[in-house]
């Protein structure tokens, strides 16, 4: 486990993280530091504990909003995929019906092999 020093609101803190996760931890610390500094600007110096609590609550609120938006996007994607599947089925059925009608028309015109392709222009019949 790697030991790292991160800085939040101008103060150093030693924290541990899994090997290979150092850059991720640094980025998370930057996000948290920005949030804590914003709270400090908005509310003044409340002490580290209260600043950290307010910063964590604001980040949790952002996370909650992001999860709600993600859920809405996932629901819309599922609806669109369902619509696409229904449209594909309807299109396939419409094409099948059109092919059957064309074959029936071709058979009625004296075609020896009542298939769609035998009635295609330029194709040999018989």
13-to-8, 23, 26, 30 alpha-carbon distances in Å: 7, 16, 12, 13
- pLDDT, tens digit (0-9, with 9 covering 90-100), for 3-57: 999 999 999 999 999 999 999 999 999 999 999 999 999 988 788 999 999 999 9
pLDDT category, 107, cuts 50, 70, 90? confident
When pLDDT is cut at 50, 70 and 90, the band that residue 91 belongs to is: very high
**CB of 29 within 8 A of CB of 14?**
no
Model confidence at 113: pLDDT above 90: no
């Amino acid at each position: 486990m790697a030991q790292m020093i991160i800085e939040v609101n101008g103060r150093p803190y030693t924290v541990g993280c899994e090997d290979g996760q150092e850059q991720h931890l640094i980025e998370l610390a930057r996000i948290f530091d920005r949030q804590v500094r914003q709270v400090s600007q908005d509310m003044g110096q409340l002490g580290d504990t209260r600043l950290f609590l307010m910063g964590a609550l604001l980040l949790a609120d952002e996370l909650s909003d992001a999860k709600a938006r993600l859920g809405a996007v996932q629901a819309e994607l599922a609806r669109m995929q369902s619509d696409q599947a229904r449209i594909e089925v309807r299109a396939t059925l419409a094409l099948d019906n059109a092919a059957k009608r064309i074959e029936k028309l071709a058979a009625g015109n004296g075609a020896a092999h009542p298939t769609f392709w035998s009635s295609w222009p330029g194709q040999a019949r018989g």
